Amino acid sequence: MLAFDDLGIRFGGNQAVQGVSGSIQPGIITAIIGPNGAGKSTFFNLLSGFYKPTSGRISFENRDITGLPTHEVVALGIARTFQTTTIYKELSALDNAVLGHRVRTRSGLWDALLATGRERRETQASLEAAHTALARVGLAGQAQVLAGNLTQEAQKRVSIALALATGPKVLLLDEPAAGINPEETVNLTRTIRELAAGGLTVVLIEHKMSMVMRLADQIMVLHHGQKIAEGSPAQVSRDPAVVEAYLGGHAAPHVREELKADLEQEAARLGEGHA
């Protein structure tokens, strides 16, 4: 569905992403993990058109999208959220989602000023898309609340709704569970699972390994900008290169501890399966 070949980007002397090849399969959840600074967010910036690669190609549904500007990438059906929640806090949750849908609409300033038929139809379509997007992330009851007055977790959901309102086929989520508590993380995990069950292709960058292990069908591991492993959660969590990347001192202590706990849990689960 979404394929990349020898993808790379260099910032001055820093090769942030290097020689990454692979693909995202439709209808599943792919997680991208790796220590801080591994190049995960940069990889998303490449896929979504925020950065132009200095090497390699990206294709989406067999069409070359390398170097396309962000709004064209979004229009084709690739939406993303950002690591730091980027929503309009002074707007309602609903209006945030409306803005997401507006990237799809064609009417301009004159249509708005003259209240043309197209403008009215598109406004109606945007409102419907926005309500649907909010419902998909469990915020139907908070549509009119100013986004800035919502909890941190609900603000994350608004940013997902904004992305959903663009009508994506692929949703890229950059650390959606950063800064929210364990109970909220479980709830958000359920929401992401439901989105995928509804047919959306999800790519998730996440540090919280409990979430990754619960959600991911496929995991790709980046380290120093390169892909060092990929496979099922069970395969990846046993991969010596992955364990070394995390336990070798590059990762933050809490990440190391979480991964260690999850690796042990995964090993125990596999053990039960064999017993």
Binds 124, which of ligand ADP, Mg ion, none (CB < 5 to 8 A, cut-off by type)? none
In whole angstroms, the minimum distance from the beta carbon of 249 to ligand ADP comes to: 16
- State the Cα angle at 25 between 20 and 29, rounded to 5°: 95
51/42 Cα distance (integer angstroms): 8
In whole angstroms, the minimum distance from the beta carbon of 16 to Mg ion comes to: 11
In whole angstroms, the minimum distance from the beta carbon of 112 to Mg ion comes to: 37
In whole angstroms, the minimum distance from the beta carbon of 220 to ligand ADP comes to: 12
Q: Which residues contact 196 (CB under 8 A, 6 or more apart)?
A: 27, 28, 29, 202, 215
CB atoms within 10 A of CB 25: 13
Q: Which residues contact 240 (CB under 8 A, 6 or more apart)?
A: none
94/99 Cα distance (integer angstroms): 9
Q: Is 48 exposed, middle or buried (0-12, 13-18, 19+ CB in 10 A)?
A: buried
In whole angstroms, the minimum distance from the beta carbon of 272 to Mg ion comes to: 34
If the CB atoms of residues 153 and 174 are measured against Mg ion, the closer one turns out to be 174
Residues in the site for ligand ADP, rule: CB under 6 A?
11, 14, 16, 34, 36-42
If the CB atoms of residues 34 and 56 are measured against Mg ion, the closer one turns out to be 34
Instruction: Please report whether residue 41 would count as binding Mg ion according to CB under 5 A.
Output: yes
Binds 149, which of Mg ion, ligand ADP, none (CB < 5 to 8 A, cut-off by type)? none
204/163 Cα distance (integer angstroms): 14
Looking at 34-42, 98-106, 233-241, 242-250, which segment touches Mg ion (CB under 5 A)?
34-42
> Three-class SS of residue 96?
helix
In whole angstroms, the minimum distance from the beta carbon of 124 to ligand ADP comes to: 39
Binds 34, which of ligand ADP, Mg ion, none (CB < 5 to 8 A, cut-off by type)? ligand ADP
CB atoms within 10 A of CB 113: 9
Binds 42, which of ligand ADP, Mg ion, none (CB < 5 to 8 A, cut-off by type)? ligand ADP
In whole angstroms, the minimum distance from the beta carbon of 245 to Mg ion comes to: 15
If the CB atoms of residues 33 and 170 are measured against ligand ADP, the closer one turns out to be 33
Q: Is 2 exposed, middle or buried (0-12, 13-18, 19+ CB in 10 A)?
A: buried
Binds 11, which of ligand ADP, Mg ion, none (CB < 5 to 8 A, cut-off by type)? ligand ADP
Of 224-263, which residues contact Mg ion (CB under 5 A)?
none
Amino acid at 30: T
Binds 92, which of ligand ADP, Mg ion, none (CB < 5 to 8 A, cut-off by type)? none
216/223 Cα distance (integer angstroms): 18
Give the gyration radius of the chain's Cα atoms: 19
Binds 18, which of ligand ADP, Mg ion, none (CB < 5 to 8 A, cut-off by type)? none
Of 77-106, which residues contact Mg ion (CB under 5 A)?
83
Residues that bind Mg ion (CB under 5 A): 40-41, 83
